[in-house]
Amino acid sequence: METVTESQRVGTAKKLEKMFGHIDYRNPPELCPVRDVMSVASDQWSTLIILWLGYFPVLRFNKLKKYVYGISNKVLSQRLKVLEADGYITRNAYPEVPIRVEYSLTEFGQSYVKKLLELTEWMQENSPKVLANREKYGLL
Amino acid sequence: METVTESQRVGTAKKLEKMFGHIDYRNPPELCPVRDVMSVASDQWSTLIILWLGYFPVLRFNKLKKYVYGISNKVLSQRLKVLEADGYITRNAYPEVPIRVEYSLTEFGQSYVKKLLELTEWMQENSPKVLANREKYGLL
DNA sequence: AAGAGTAAGTTACAAAAAGTAACCAAATGA
DNA sequence: TCATTTGGTTACTTTTTGTAACTTACTCTT
């Protein structure tokens, strides 16, 4: 068991201890719901799906597929199921012909999309720096 | 080109337009630095690496590997390179025997870890809800 | 002097995940 | 009768991950 002195520790980071196990070298996903839940919600495709559903209050399968550029039917369908199971989105199917299926965020999903937007805003502000760093690194 | 009325639009979500292309069905990663940069930084393993480096100011390869439970040498090594290239972390090698290599966050990395911690805090607060949802969904 | 140990990786091979593209159902319109 | 439509599914290929053995270079033990 490792101990970290206060001086070694970075400010707010104490919370990691609670989040990712108790710093005893054992924080596998089975023992760590945060890691488990996060790996679903912050997956690349899931993130884009949730963000677009934050933008449009309701979207049908094929519309969503156009916005989440590059996603395949298969993966979109998979992710939608998981996101529904985890409570971020709802699926409403209307038995018309052809069938109409509408996806939208739950309240829970909306609270998540707010957090996600904070992160993407940071990304937008900072992505130029990252691209500049990559350039520089490439030359070394 | 799709138009969204103000009433359809969810609050802060207008920013998506700037972030993910101009709502014209074309936001591939090549045209969208945010998507590109985000896919590296918010990858599951990268996230854990950055979080642990936020907790311990400096970590060596094998220590990092113990904290980021379950990661393989290969992937750890890959992610560290990319995170270094993107400017989140620094690598310092001391030519002792055996070699000693120290990783730590750059200032930029520290500004990112703060954002990341906000997200993980949300996850910690909300993961019980997600697990409960999953249970319920499983029964349907 | 031969062998073991150590840190930080790399490499070859196997398994899992993702991408691709064709296919399906059910009703409607030409 | 045949094409069209939506929301997927399926079989197959390619890419990404995971596994575990190996490497390098020097030091310590025997």
The answer to whether residue A127 scores a pLDDT higher than 70 is yes
A22, A24, A31, A35, best to mutate vs chain B, most B CBs in 10 Å: A35
* A83 within some domain: yes
The better pLDDT of the pair A97, B22 is held by A97
The better pLDDT of the pair A8, A17 is held by A17
Average pLDDT over residues B88-114: 95
The answer to whether residue B32 scores a pLDDT higher than 90 is no
Q: How far is the CA of A27 from the C1' of D26 (A)?
A: 35
**B87, B122, B134 member nearest A86 (Cβ):** B134
SS3 of B58, please? Answer: coil
pLDDT cut 70: percent of chain B above it: 78
Residue found under tokens 């052809």: A98
Each residue of A52-76: pLDDT tens digit?
999 899 999 999 998 898 899 999 9
* B7 within some domain: no
Search chain B and give the residue with CA nearest A42.
B42
Quote the minimal CA–CA distance from A123 to chain B in Å.
6
What pLDDT, on the 0 to 100 scale, is given for residue A15? Answer: 58
Q: Do B117 and A12 touch (CB under 8 A)?
A: yes
What pLDDT, on the 0 to 100 scale, is given for residue B55? Answer: 87
Tell me whether strands A59-60 and A100-105 are parallel, antiparallel or unpaired.
Answer: antiparallel
Whether the Cβ atoms of residue B68 and residue A111 lie closer than 8 Å to each other? no
Whether the Cβ atoms of residue B11 and residue B47 lie closer than 8 Å to each other? no
* B81 within some domain: yes
The answer to whether residue B23 scores a pLDDT higher than 50 is no
From the C1' of D28, which residue's alpha carbon is nearest? B97
Q: Which of the nucleotides in strand D have any atom less than 7 Å away from a protein CB atom?
A: 5-11, 17-21, 25-27
The better pLDDT of the pair A10, A77 is held by A77
The better pLDDT of the pair A85, B7 is held by A85
* A62 within some domain: yes
Average pLDDT over residues B57-71: 92
Q: Domain tally for chain B?
A: 1
Beta bridge partners of residue B27, listed in sequence order:
none
Each residue of A81-96: pLDDT tens digit?
999 999 999 999 999 9
Mean pLDDT over all residues of chain B? 83
What pLDDT, on the 0 to 100 scale, is given for residue B138? Answer: 85
pLDDT band at A32 (very low <50, low <70, confident <90, very high): confident
Search chain A and give the residue with CA nearest B27.
A69
Quote the minimal CA–CA distance from B77 to chain A in Å.
16
The answer to whether residue B57 scores a pLDDT higher than 50 is yes
What pLDDT, on the 0 to 100 scale, is given for residue B1? Answer: 40
* B90 within some domain: yes
What pLDDT, on the 0 to 100 scale, is given for residue A4? Answer: 46
Residue A71 sits in which domain range?
42-139
What pLDDT, on the 0 to 100 scale, is given for residue A17? Answer: 56
Cis bond before residue A57 (omega within 30° of 0)? no
Mean pLDDT over all residues of chain A? 84
* B125 within some domain: yes
What pLDDT, on the 0 to 100 scale, is given for residue A6? Answer: 37
CATH number where B49 lies: 1.10.10.10
SS3 of A91, please? Answer: strand
* B102 within some domain: yes
Average pLDDT over residues B104-109: 97
* B16 within some domain: no
What pLDDT, on the 0 to 100 scale, is given for residue A102? Answer: 98
Q: Do B15 and A120 touch (CB under 8 A)?
A: yes
Give alpha helix (H) positions in A1-106. Answer: 15-19, 33-41, 44-55, 61-67, 73-85
Whether the Cβ atoms of residue A102 and residue A63 lie closer than 8 Å to each other? no
Average pLDDT over residues B71-82: 96
pLDDT band at B33 (very low <50, low <70, confident <90, very high): confident
Give A7-12 contacts, CB < 8 A, sequence gap 24+: A8/B56, A8/B57, A9/B55, A9/B56, A9/B57, A10/B54, A10/B55, A10/B57, A10/B110, A10/B113, A12/B114, A12/B117
